[in-house]
Structure 1
Amino acid sequence: MKKKLIFRLKLTFALFTCGSICLAQTDLTLRYDRPASNWNEALPLGNGRLGAMLYGGTETEQLQLNEETLWAGEPGNNVPEGKSADITRARTLLFAGNYAEAQALMLEAFPRKVPDSSNYGMPYQTMGNLWMNFPGHGQATNYKKELDISRAVATVSYDLAGVHYNREYFTSLTDDVLVIRLSSSKKGMLTFDLKLTSPQQQIQRTTRGKSTAIMRGISGNSENKRGRIAFETHVTPLLKGGTLTSTDSTLRIQAADEVVLILSAATNFKNYKDISGNASDRAHGLLQKALGKRYASLRDAHIARYRAQFDRVSLDLGISPQQQKTTDLRVREFAQADDPALVALYFQFGRYLLISSSQPGGQPATLQGIWNDKLSPPWDSKYTVNINTEMNYWPAEVTNLAELHEPLFAMLKDLAVTGRESAKKLYNARGWNMHHNTDLWRITGIVDGGFYGAWPMGGAWLTQHIWKHYIYSGDTKFLDTYYEVLKECTRFYLDVLAEDPQTHYLVVAPSMSPENTYQKGVALSAGTTMDNQLVFDVFQNSIAAAKILNRDAAFIDTVMLALKRLPPMQVGRHTQLQEWLHDWDKKDDRHRHISHLYGLYPSAQLSPYRHPKLFEAARNSLTYRGDVSTGWSMGWKVNWWARLQDGERAYKLIKDQLSPAPEAQSGQHGGTYPNLLDAHPPFQIDGNFGCTAGIAEMLIQSYDGDIHLLPALPTAWQRGSVKGLRAPGGFEIDMDWEHGKVSRLTIRSKLGGNCRIRLAEGTHLTGKQDLLPARGENSNPFYAIREIAQPVFSQQATFQGVSLAETVSYDLKTKKNNTYVFQQQNQ
């Protein structure tokens, strides 16, 4: 009781002394009072390439290790020969209405079980573990384990027999090694053994001299491919005082005052078709370079590099006494407790994970980022591109981490090469394509057979990230670099679009609405709503890019003709946005994928102001599906409800997501593990990234011709501040709000041009430059509206209308690199 009273007094004083809109600082530390008992309680560390999961044991410490290029298998695509006739036949059957027969044909041509002649993608694999054994430390007291995501540094501390022990851990962004510093309050108290292990089958463990433990191995085989990634892990302790001895595979530290461990790791991977690198030389070089630096220099350089990215955005939603509790307890109590700071922590944790798992020059974040403790992880921990990989990068632009998008763009360049094979062999088409999965080797063929895998739209969705990065940055050099990727993706769809004999629309067939069925056991279809929306965006992006770069006029004329023949969106008999070309939706369908709402988010094809009936139909579709689902699905739903301007429902989804994940390792329950990682279950990282993007979407939206501030603010967040969020056209936004309305606004314009903002009615802001009432279309080309085809409505649809908060739009003429500040006008 006394602690709570002191906390409340401090909180009251902080709010009083910093003024009416200043909030006490949100704490950005994950805290625990016991070691991890399983992987879902361990804490993630990463520098984009090297990952570690920290357990924090006192007697036995474990750090599970990953390196981003350690995958099973070897170079090579997975496109089978002689299957194009089956795909053509399936299209004919679909157009004739023989849906079950078409599905059966595709399953025969592409069985769910991996055919001998192909593969369904290689798994991302664990490297192994670093173990430290501290004899007699099992009776420790005053235990604390923390991860400070404002610095990307973790600590473990405890007391034992009158001695205070402390460990500090980080994966260096500057020196590309794992660093651990162990210290104690009395000299000579650090005695422990150190070793490396791995579940990989081809492993050798040795020591170099008395100072370095080395583990080398080869990645595992999978399906019909032999593992050929060679890897090495080196670890060297630096001692103050004490002695260091070794056996064949173990290092022993005795009676040291302080120990700094440096761990390096590397593989022979150069790129998806070249594995001629030297893992030993790479690991040794990284280690030696780091050993030549003082610990403080390693730590300070790492923190400075990390903060240069992380500190671009801050979010404060208020604090409460819950912040004093351990993070796992806060998650358990979130549904009933007032804990706005946990939402801010979760938002920033998503940014921390993206910084830690996706750095320029490396690989994109997988289904589990860079953290995986298995040789055969769930879904292979590869790249599932019918939602999950894209969701990983939703926070990149809006939360000011644009350069972390680069690994995804680099992968797209690879896929635009390997995808020519699948386009030609499977569809007799030019350009490039891929399906719903890829891996380190950039496979582009069908994965998981002719049911889940018969979706030739992966490239269409991934290329949206190229256009998204361009409109946020205005970087025409970047657009020119990736223009051919866009163009050749467009060329593929020009070649494969076929005329539906009933409607005469141009449609993609065969395809499917990801992982959903409209008849028992039948997913295969033609002209699904998501496909139509994706092709619409692909064509529009290519048209716009070609005009900006003044290229390919004749080609773009062809694209524009095909664009006009795409199916429009349709509203069905349940007043729902149809998922398929035909009105097959069921009101009791609770499927995790709601792919036809792609047009609502992340795309920008549905507007509450320009398409109110479509907007209502999308809301109905989302309502019918319900709330609780897999973690990633609930993360997507936060974004959808934000786009629907329903802050209360979006906040409910955040509460659903920030509930304890079940112990079950499979299912569709969602939730959050004690370490704040997202549960499908099991762990998938996309739910973390989706929820971070969703929280940003509740605060700022910039898809509908303007920058809408606080479009979906729940009553629980009536007061707060955010700094550093980005909007297209090079704008950065800081804002404070009170009583649900913006009270202070700072706009930084990187490119100049018109800045149109939408505010709640009754918001009165003044500054050195006037905010003028908006007139006509926004003159800023980064906010150009793309007109969709006239929707088609079922005669059975009945519309009730959707109530929206009243808003007012203003224009601000900005100059490049200028800053504009506005404050609430005194009434």
Structure 2
Amino acid sequence: MLRLLFLLILIPTLAQAQQPLKLWYNKPAEKWTDALPIGNGRVGGMVFGGVGQDRVQFNESSLWTGRPRPYARPGAAQYLSQMRALLAAGKQKEAEALAAEHFMGMQDHEEGYADRKAAWLQQVQAMKAAQATAPGHTWQPLQIPTPNGWENADMPSLEGLDGAVWFRTSFDLPAAWAGKDVTLSLGRIRDADITYVNGQQIGTDEGISKKRRYRVPAAALRPGRNEVAIQVINYYDKGGLIGVKEQQPVFVVYPEGADPAQNVPLNPAWQYWVQDENPPLAPSYQASYQPFGDLLLDFATKGQATNYRRELDITQAVARTTYTQNGTTYTREYFANAPRNAVVCRLTASKKGSISLNALLQSPHKDYKLSRVDDHTLALAVQVKDGVLRGVSHLRVATKGGRVTLTDQQIQLQNADEATFYLTAATNFKSYNDVSGEPEKLAAAAQQRVGSASYAALRKEHVRDYQQLFSSFNVDLGHSQNEQLPTDERIRQFSPVADPALQALYMQYGRYLLIASSRMGGQAANLQGIWNESLTPSWGSKYTTNINLEMNYWPAEVLNLSACTKPLFTLINEAAEAGQVTAKEHYNARGWVLHHNTDLWRGTAPINASNHGIWVTGGAWLTLPIWEHYQFTHDRDFLREQYPVMKQAATFFLDFLVKDPRTGWLISTPSNSPEHGGLVAGPTMDHQLIRELFRNTAAAAQALGLDADLQQELTTKAQQLAPNQVGKHGQLQEWLEDKDDPTDTHRHVSHLWGVFPGTDITWADPKLLQAARTSLVQRGDEGTGWSLAWKLNLWARFRDGNHALTILEKLLSPAEGANGSERGGVYHNLFDAHPPFQIDGNFGGAAGMAEMLLQSQSGTLDLLPALPTAWPTGEVRGLRARGNFTVNLRWTQGKLQAVEIQSEAGQDCVVRYGGKEVKFKTKKGKKYTLNGELKKG
């Protein structure tokens, strides 16, 4: 009877089961980070929900720039010993200079680029300001600054543009300044500029970090109006007048040497014209993820809309827009069906014959092509500017009533009762070394799979397929009246106490985004998941492997989405294959290595700059998800299949590590504590990663009964690695030397990897754990999205729930300020802000909330280890723990009431809560119920 009572306690109430997991708004999206994301792992869409025009911006996971090519630099290994010697001698800058010249990876288009660039520059710079501003050019207005590049200025002619662009404006010179030199302050510019005042060149510079402040001699100035003309040269990525991140005023003039605050602003009515948009393709270390196109629905019905509502139901993965116009209620539903690989959009109205529109496809890619496929289908074909990939999308319409007319440009629909659009997309990508796919056939085949299935059948199939993943988990942290507010208003008013349900929604939204962006058959979730509208996305929207890619998958196992890891393991296996070449060419080592970034083509060589690009433990980190997957699932077939990847990653470090002559420890050199402190010997994070790799690989070999000699070698070498050290400030040292600055608030907390996600530092060593905690305190609580998410997980591992909640509150703060500024937090659609948008914070935040409720890294099930006081009552069902356990928890007044544990593998189970610990044997498939005192019911 007591056992039955506990089971009843764990069953959610009807109110809990019906808690609304919806994002909703009372107006259409005004910008991309207002729009609502849908996706099936291969095709993703952002739904704007406009009234006069609706927009669905869409992506396909394999549309990238670049091509299959060599990434490793032949012969780089011959410089390895020199780099090590320079670092050992304390000559960091010399080591970085040598590495920059000889050790970085191969860039695409690097051969002959200097000559091509010089010839092009000579051509475009032959034009001076007098010619540029002479009559005959079509100037267009542009709002300055463009902080994220002119590509984001909502000007179609500037989307994805590289080349030479002229800008002009003016300022009025005060009479009191006559005869004085003045300073023209322009802030930062991407990439190079030649700046003129009244036709006279007054300055030129290059580099986006340089703040342009040019002296304008008095002789160049005129009484009254003065003309400013700037030729901006942008070779690749983003371009434009981007301002500065400081208080110094920009786009002003002031007397030379005077207080910059005593300035005259430049005329805000800037204009531009494009001189040349065809520079030679610039060298690039890695490729960039690309947008595909836009579906636009232009509606014939005019008039004011009332009762507007736009929502995303994450229990069903369906977006919906409804409103009333001229007495008719219109409804649209959108979803991305995974079994058929199609985005579906259905339009209905309360009155027959009310749906009239033009449906168009367009793309930011230059020279995209539209064509009519048949009486109901339009095709879009795109080709990336820099690379070999091309894509084809098909848009088909089915109607009830009305008239359908197709041209090569659009689908015209008149007076239909209802209409359903089916969008499919494909590329010629087959694998990282094969681009022989036929996108025309693939897009058509997906339409054939949709076939004549009814909308109701497709929707039912979609919801069933999605809920097989999503419904495995439920969380309830309480409720309040704020749940009645639109989501953007909830974010503005958020506090943990005022809106506990927003935290539960945020946690579930992270799971939704992972399902939508990482499904079997698609690519792994990148820096933006599967969503991107820019031809020049920040950081290429690639896979950054010194934290961000791994963070994307932190929630996968613990939040019951193990199936979503399949694309990640595909990436890991391919990177391991490609990384063997890099290991040989750069380190003359066996095994495989991956540095701090990879892309669709599985580049593994060091990129960008030697002071942060030479970081050798990306491959080591990517073996952790393999081991974690085995710990959570006990899938021996999976482990047997993936063990060679772990073994070869460990083999690389057996060859790479060297003995430090001062200490006798094995150290990693050259390397980097990610993006902090430059090229060094012996960063702490490396040693934590390698130690865990050696231990996990030895454990995997033991579990499989393989490689006894290797097990012993790895165990011995793990013990010889440089240990974690406590420094003079009580901190965990980030480097081999005790040189940490306690006032340093750098966004990376790399040396705390051993606390989370690793297990190199645990409660078994309270001295080291305290040192790690001290380091985290010194770094501070501020940060952008992913950095906050990492700190959230760390505070959970420190079992400090209230501090973890402080970080979570920052993660859920508004990212957009009233003046257009951005910071870490969330956008209106709950996307994480780095800024700009980066999805890792969403995933890391969801994982951190799970860590607050359950931890299992030490071999025990630690229940509610970091429960904050602001979550006094709650319930969670479907948490996963190592040992292949599924855990349901319920607590009230901050105390555990009951726990139900299902054993999926029949392992011994150890449970700990409130200073108590129980251990019991389990049988596979059996459930075990304990009360708050850990007594069986």
Residue 212 of structure 1: aligned partner: 377
Q: Is the contact made by 2:73 and 2:103 (CA closer than 8 Å) also made in structure 1?
A: no
Does the C-alpha gap of structure 1 residues 281 and 665 become closer, same or farther in structure 2, counting only changes over 3 Å?
farther
Q: Please show how residues 601-750 of structure 1 align to structure 2 within 5 Å.
A: 601-608=756-763, 610-662=764-816, 669-750=823-904
Counterpart among 372, 394, 409 of residue 554 in structure 2: 394
SS of the equivalent of 1:70 reads coil
Residue 785 of structure 1: aligned partner: none
SS of the equivalent of 2:744 reads coil
Counterpart among 922, 928, 931 of residue 814 in structure 1: 922
Residue 77 of structure 1: aligned partner: 70
Q: Is the contact made by 1:48 and 1:355 (CA closer than 8 Å) also made in structure 2?
A: yes
How far the C-alpha of 1:663 sits from its partner, in A, is: 5.4
SS of the equivalent of 1:45 reads strand
Aligned equivalents of 1:19, 1:57: Cα separation in 2: 37
Amino acid in structure 2 at the alignment position of 1:395 = P
Match status 1:374 vs 2:530: no
Aligned equivalents of 1:26, 1:510: Cα separation in 2: 52
Aligned equivalents of 2:931, 2:798: Cα separation in 1: 28
SS of the equivalent of 2:841 reads helix
Residue 316 of structure 1: aligned partner: 476
More strand per residue: 2
Does the C-alpha gap of structure 1 residues 665 and 438 become closer, same or farther in structure 2, counting only changes over 3 Å?
farther
How far the C-alpha of 1:292 sits from its partner, in A, is: 1.7
Structure 2 unmatched ranges of 5 or more? 1-8, 112-282
Does the C-alpha gap of structure 1 residues 148 and 619 become closer, same or farther in structure 2, counting only changes over 3 Å?
same
Match status 1:536 vs 2:691: yes
Amino acid in structure 1 at the alignment position of 2:916 = V
How far the C-alpha of 1:666 sits from its partner, in A, is: 11
Does the C-alpha gap of structure 1 residues 506 and 611 become closer, same or farther in structure 2, counting only changes over 3 Å?
same
1:399-447 CA-partner distances (Å, limit 9, x unpaired): 0111111111111111111101110000011111010001110111111
Match status 1:49 vs 2:42: yes
Residue 305 of structure 2: aligned partner: 140
What is the identity percentage for the equivalent residue pairs of Structure 1 and Structure 2? 45
Residue 551 of structure 1: aligned partner: 706
1:232-258 CA-partner distances (Å, limit 9, x unpaired): 000111010100012221110000000
Does the C-alpha gap of structure 1 residues 336 and 718 become closer, same or farther in structure 2, counting only changes over 3 Å?
closer
Counterpart among 709, 719, 728 of residue 564 in structure 1: 719
How far the C-alpha of 1:812 sits from its partner, in A, is: 2.2
Residue 27 of structure 2: aligned partner: 34
Q: Is the contact made by 1:27 and 1:341 (CA closer than 8 Å) also made in structure 2?
A: no
How far the C-alpha of 1:139 sits from its partner, in A, is: 1.8
SS of the equivalent of 1:605 reads coil
Q: Is the contact made by 1:395 and 1:401 (CA closer than 8 Å) also made in structure 2?
A: yes
Aligned equivalents of 1:336, 1:478: Cα separation in 2: 40
How far the C-alpha of 1:824 sits from its partner, in A, is: 4.6
Q: Is the contact made by 1:389 and 1:686 (CA closer than 8 Å) also made in structure 2?
A: yes
Aligned equivalents of 1:280, 1:397: Cα separation in 2: 37
Amino acid in structure 2 at the alignment position of 1:677 = F
SS of the equivalent of 2:606 reads coil
Aligned equivalents of 2:762, 2:618: Cα separation in 1: 25
Residue 780 of structure 1: aligned partner: none
Residue 751 of structure 2: aligned partner: 596
Does the C-alpha gap of structure 1 residues 172 and 664 become closer, same or farther in structure 2, counting only changes over 3 Å?
farther
Residue 480 of structure 1: aligned partner: 640
Match status 1:101 vs 2:94: yes
How far the C-alpha of 1:395 sits from its partner, in A, is: 0.4
SS of the equivalent of 1:814 reads coil
Residue 656 of structure 2: aligned partner: 496
Counterpart among 724, 727, 739 of residue 584 in structure 1: 739
1:114-146 CA-partner distances (Å, limit 9, x unpaired): 681574110000001000001344521111000
Q: Is the contact made by 1:73 and 1:220 (CA closer than 8 Å) also made in structure 2?
A: no
Q: Is the contact made by 1:631 and 1:687 (CA closer than 8 Å) also made in structure 2?
A: yes
Aligned equivalents of 2:26, 2:816: Cα separation in 1: 21
Q: Is the contact made by 2:732 and 2:771 (CA closer than 8 Å) also made in structure 1?
A: yes
How far the C-alpha of 1:526 sits from its partner, in A, is: 1.0
Residue 751 of structure 1: aligned partner: 905
Residue 520 of structure 1: aligned partner: none
Amino acid in structure 2 at the alignment position of 1:368 = Q
Moved more, 197-206 or 117-126: 117-126
Counterpart among 517, 520, 531 of residue 360 in structure 1: 520
Amino acid in structure 2 at the alignment position of 1:392 = N
Does the C-alpha gap of structure 1 residues 19 and 539 become closer, same or farther in structure 2, counting only changes over 3 Å?
closer
Does the C-alpha gap of structure 1 residues 611 and 21 become closer, same or farther in structure 2, counting only changes over 3 Å?
farther
SS of the equivalent of 1:512 reads strand
How far the C-alpha of 1:669 sits from its partner, in A, is: 3.0
Q: Is the contact made by 1:395 and 1:692 (CA closer than 8 Å) also made in structure 2?
A: yes
Residue 334 of structure 1: aligned partner: 494
Alignment TM-score, normalising by the size of structure 1 = 0.89
Aligned equivalents of 1:813, 1:432: Cα separation in 2: 40
Amino acid in structure 1 at the alignment position of 2:29 = A
Does the C-alpha gap of structure 1 residues 21 and 196 become closer, same or farther in structure 2, counting only changes over 3 Å?
closer
Aligned equivalents of 2:931, 2:16: Cα separation in 1: 17
Aligned equivalents of 1:161, 1:203: Cα separation in 2: 37
Residue 931 of structure 2: aligned partner: 823
How far the C-alpha of 1:22 sits from its partner, in A, is: 7.9
Q: Is the contact made by 1:220 and 1:375 (CA closer than 8 Å) also made in structure 2?
A: no
SS of the equivalent of 1:154 reads strand
1:654-704 CA-partner distances (Å, limit 9, x unpaired): 110101103599999311000000000000000000000000000001112
Counterpart among 307, 320, 323 of residue 158 in structure 1: 323
Q: Please show how residues 437-476 of structure 1 align to structure 2 within 5 Å.
A: 437-476=597-636
Aligned equivalents of 1:20, 1:675: Cα separation in 2: 29
Amino acid in structure 1 at the alignment position of 2:733 = Q
Does the C-alpha gap of structure 1 residues 667 and 276 become closer, same or farther in structure 2, counting only changes over 3 Å?
farther
Aligned equivalents of 2:338, 2:732: Cα separation in 1: 45
Aligned equivalents of 1:58, 1:615: Cα separation in 2: 55
How far the C-alpha of 1:112 sits from its partner, in A, is: 11
Aligned equivalents of 1:255, 1:22: Cα separation in 2: 42
1:503-551 CA-partner distances (Å, limit 9, x unpaired): 111111000100011xxxxx11111110000000110111111111111
Residue 351 of structure 1: aligned partner: 511
1:142-165 CA-partner distances (Å, limit 9, x unpaired): 110000000000000000011000
Q: Is the contact made by 1:119 and 1:447 (CA closer than 8 Å) also made in structure 2?
A: no
1:166-187 CA-partner distances (Å, limit 9, x unpaired): 0000000221100011000000
SS of the equivalent of 1:131 reads strand
Residue 256 of structure 2: aligned partner: none
Amino acid in structure 1 at the alignment position of 2:20 = D
* Higher Cα Rg, which structure: 2
Residue 515 of structure 1: aligned partner: 675
Match status 1:91 vs 2:84: yes
How far the C-alpha of 1:97 sits from its partner, in A, is: 2.1
Amino acid in structure 2 at the alignment position of 1:747 = I
Q: Is the contact made by 1:48 and 1:356 (CA closer than 8 Å) also made in structure 2?
A: yes
Q: Is the contact made by 2:582 and 2:593 (CA closer than 8 Å) also made in structure 1?
A: yes
1:611-637 CA-partner distances (Å, limit 9, x unpaired): 111111111100111111110000111
Aligned equivalents of 1:299, 1:340: Cα separation in 2: 31
1:228-284 CA-partner distances (Å, limit 9, x unpaired): 112100011101010001222111000000001111111111111111111011100
How far the C-alpha of 1:705 sits from its partner, in A, is: 2.6
Residue 224 of structure 1: aligned partner: none
1:160-218 CA-partner distances (Å, limit 9, x unpaired): 01100000000002211000110000000000000100011242111123311100122
Aligned equivalents of 1:112, 1:377: Cα separation in 2: 22
Q: Is the contact made by 1:93 and 1:102 (CA closer than 8 Å) also made in structure 2?
A: yes
Amino acid in structure 1 at the alignment position of 2:735 = W
Alignment TM-score, normalising by the size of structure 2 = 0.78
Residue 771 of structure 1: aligned partner: none
